[in-house]
Amino acid sequence: MAKATNTSTATTAKAATKRTRTAAETEKIRKALVARRDALQNEYDESLSEITELQRDRLADSAGDDQADAGTKTFEREQEITLANNLLERITQVERAIERLGEGNYGWCERCGNPIPVERLAAFPSATLCVTCKQLEERR
Ligand SMILES: [Zn+2]
């Protein structure tokens, strides 16, 4: 009988702009990230065995080396270690990205709030800006 004039519905609609990706999309990103991590992990493993080898070489024949030779080997080894550390850093970034993906707040542009394309995330797992915003940022 009494007119049920409803004024409360209008307020709820505004809050519904929650960022969501479809499950399929999230899965696609996850697969790209996991593939990326595996590739980096392989590179890292190779790099580690390279370091071990360089180390072994150094210990095996360093007695007969002249200064320059030993210097080159040390340099090579240091470069390889830098590379390995670099790879490890990138692996950590990808793993962090995978974690954040699970929490649902990964892959959104920090500036405009648009979803960052899957391809970009696969190439740059630690990307926090979409291409457009990134370009704007660089132009300044
Ligand atoms: Zn953006």
Tell me the three-class secondary structure of the chain, residue by residue.
CCCCCCCCHHHHHHCCCCCCCCHHHHHHHHHHHHHHHHHHHHHHHHHHHHHHHHHHHHHHHHHHCCHHHHHHHHHHHHHHHHHHHHHHHHHHHHHHHHHHHHHCCCCECCCCCCECCHHHHHHCCCCCCCHHHHHHHHHC
Distance 130 CA to ligand 1 centre (A): 4
Residue 131 corresponds to which amino acid? Answer: V
pLDDT at 7 over 50: no
Distance 132 CA to ligand 1 centre (A): 6
Q: Which residue has the tokens 């979803």?
A: 115
What token pair was written down for 77?
Answer: 């080894």
Q: How many CB atoms lie within 10 A of CB 97?
A: 23
Domains of the chain, residue spans: 22-106
Q: What is the mean pLDDT of residues 33-62?
A: 90
For the stretch 80-127, pLDDT in tens is 999 999 999 999 999 999 998 888 889 999 999 999 988 898 888 889
- Reported as a pLDDT band with limits 50, 70 and 90, residue 64 is low
pLDDT at 63 over 80: no
- Reported as a pLDDT band with limits 50, 70 and 90, residue 13 is very low
Distance 29 CA to ligand 1 centre (A): 18
Percent of the chain with pLDDT over 90: 46
For the stretch 15-32, pLDDT in tens is 444 567 888 888 989 999
The neighbourhood of ligand 1, an ion, using CB within 5 A, equals: 109, 111-112, 130, 133
